[in-house]
Amino acid sequence: MSKSAKPKSAKAKSAAQAPLIPPSPRKSGEREKNKPRVYQLKVTLMWVRPAIWRRLLVPGSISLASLHDILQTAMGWGGGHMHQFVAPGGVYYGVPQRDSEFDDLDTKDEDRFRLDQVLRREKDSIVYEYDFGDGWEHKIVLEKILAPAAGVAVLSCIGGKRACPPDDCGGVPGYANFLAAIGDATHPEHEDMVEWIGGAFDPERFDAQRINAVLAASARRARRRG
């Protein structure tokens, strides 16, 4: 706000000392309208039963690159593999791989596209693929578009079920074999799998509090950098 000129009359001075008038509802409403909408997303790991899923609140204005980071944290992936988003119609978003075997996909730069440019209406969906070797696919559905003042922390996980599979376990069939092995002490691969995972693994574990703590820390780092 620019500084006002110094009052040159008693009348002007009196006006300057008058109590501040709250903004009109119209102007306040305009400010609310300009705030990013809150997207409620349901993220489901495809082809796995029982279902592994997360429900997230995120700003609709975030980039797809930022959404990738959020998904890695919310699901519990390690982040050591390539990824991409696939929109209806076969439109790919990700990190363009020039001079590689994936160059023919004509991948659009995920840093240059916002979530609300890809998911525009409730029930719109997109697929997030992680680790092209194991082939993990996640269906992301825009469940609700909420008003900015929803009373709930934006960038948060508000629901979910079950633990994420370990990275490099071999995709859906590999994960099924992994669960069978660690759950049966007589399984021929039991000892190898327990050693590989580093101890116990609870496929039912879901810790929203831990996820939200990591998301909050990431948001604070992003604000400091910005």
- Tens of pLDDT, residues 20-70: 434 444 454 555 556 678 999 999 999 999 999 999 999 999 999 999 999
* Amino acid 151: pLDDT: 56
Lowest mean pLDDT across 4-18, 119-133, 193-207: 4-18
CATH 3.10.290.30 fits 35-162+206-225, yes or no: yes
| pLDDT score, position 22 | 43
- Do 178 and 165 touch, CB atoms closer than 8 A? yes
CA atoms within 13 A on the CB side of 160: 31
Place of tokens 């399984």: 187
What band does 156 get if pLDDT is binned at 50, 70 and 90? Answer: very high
Query: At a CB cut-off of 8 Å and minimum separation 6, what does 32 contact?
Result: 147, 148, 149
15 pLDDT more than 80: no
| 104-149: pLDDT as tens digits | 568 999 999 999 999 999 999 999 999 999 999 999 999 999 987 6
CB atoms inside a 10 Å sphere around CB 93 = 26
Q: Residue ranges of the domains in the chain?
A: 35-162+206-225, 165-204
Which long-range contacts (C-beta less than 8 Å, at least 24 apart) are formed by 27-30?
none
Cβ neighbourhood burial of 58 (10 Å; 0-12, 13-18, 19+): buried
- Give 69-111 pLDDT, tens digit per residue: 999 999 999 999 999 999 999 999 999 877 666 555 689 999 9
**Whole-angstrom Cα distance, residue 205 to residue 195?**
19
Hunting for tokens 């370990």 — which residue is that? 166
Q: What is the structure's pLDDT at 128?
A: 98
